[in-house]
Amino acid sequence: MEIKPEFKPKSIRSFVIRAGRMTDGQRSAFDEYWPTYGLSLFGGPLNVQAAFGNDNPIALEIGFGMGDSLLAMAQAEPGVNFVGIEVHPPGVGRLINTAGKEGVRNLKVYMADAKDVLEDCVPDASLARFQLYFPDPWHKKKHHKRRIVQAEFVALAARKLRPGGLLHMATDWQNYAEHMLEVLKAEPRLENTAADYAERPEFRPKTKFEARGERLGHGVWDLLFRKT
């Protein structure tokens, strides 16, 4: 099958595509497992019962990379339906390949721009959890405007959370953490569950990259906000 991310015409994208070669296993995963795990941007609002066969809570993650932590969360919480959004085919291919071989059934994937999916496919007040882990920090000051965490994006995320739902972000860039905190605190529909930064919750697995960074003395900042 043709392997391309989906985009709305003339949409402003929330990412920059980086080149990456796919392995034969990742490529063949689209033929074998995309019909099971794939969701289309053009399929309309997500019908949880039709997609998952149940009405379990939805946790949505933007930018899952190679998918290791998202897969681990889905396996650890079988009573939660996980929806991942990613535009890089190698990561999507790896995730659905592993999920398919291990028989994971509480997982679906969009290969599309996150803002398009949120606007067109995710009903308001439908998410139990909204996850954004280690997004591109765009660390140069002149590039800060490219960061996904901006007031408009946070307002959109808050709209998609159900009352009491959690918005969880994490970054290993202190400057970005400070920016995230400022933007999140300014959203009137969200309240911080901590004084400022939160402890890493048990449901977020620690990545190999994160563990290596900790050994080198690098910090990681978690932000956990609840919709009022």
Q: How far is CA 203 from the centre of its chain?
A: 14
Q: How far apart are CA 190 and CA 130, in angstroms?
A: 12
Q: Which helix (H) or strand (E) holds 148?
A: none
Is 124 labeled as catalytic in the residue annotation?
A: no
Amino acid at 15: F
Q: Residues 188, 137: contact at Cβ < 8 Å?
A: no
Q: How far apart are CA 183 and CA 19, in angstroms?
A: 31
Determine, yes or no, domain membership for 15: no
Judged on CB neighbours under 10 Å (0-12, 13-18, 19+), 12 is exposed
Q: Residues 156, 183: contact at Cβ < 8 Å?
A: no
Determine, yes or no, domain membership for 17: no
Tell me, what DSSP letter sits at residue 4?
-
Determine, yes or no, domain membership for 3: no
Q: How far is CA 111 from the centre of its chain?
A: 11
Q: Which domain holds residue 186?
A: 24-227
| Catalytic annotation, pick one of 68, 120, 124, 136 | 136
Q: What is the pLDDT of residues 54-77, one digit of tens each?
A: 999 999 999 999 999 999 999 999
Q: What is the pLDDT of residues 85-107, one digit of tens each?
A: 999 999 999 999 999 999 999 99
| CATH number, residue 108 | 3.40.50.150
Determine, yes or no, domain membership for 18: no
Number of domains in the chain: 1
Residue 141, classed as helix, strand or coil, is: helix
CA nearest neighbour of 3 among 86, 108, 71: 86
Q: Residue 216 above 90 pLDDT?
A: no
Q: Residue 12 above 60 pLDDT?
A: no
CA nearest neighbour of 172 among 215, 225, 131, 133: 133
Determine, yes or no, domain membership for 117: yes
Q: How far apart are CA 46 and CA 40, in angstroms?
A: 9
Q: What is the pLDDT of residues 120-148, one digit of tens each?
A: 999 999 999 999 999 988 677 786 788 99
Residue 114, classed as helix, strand or coil, is: helix
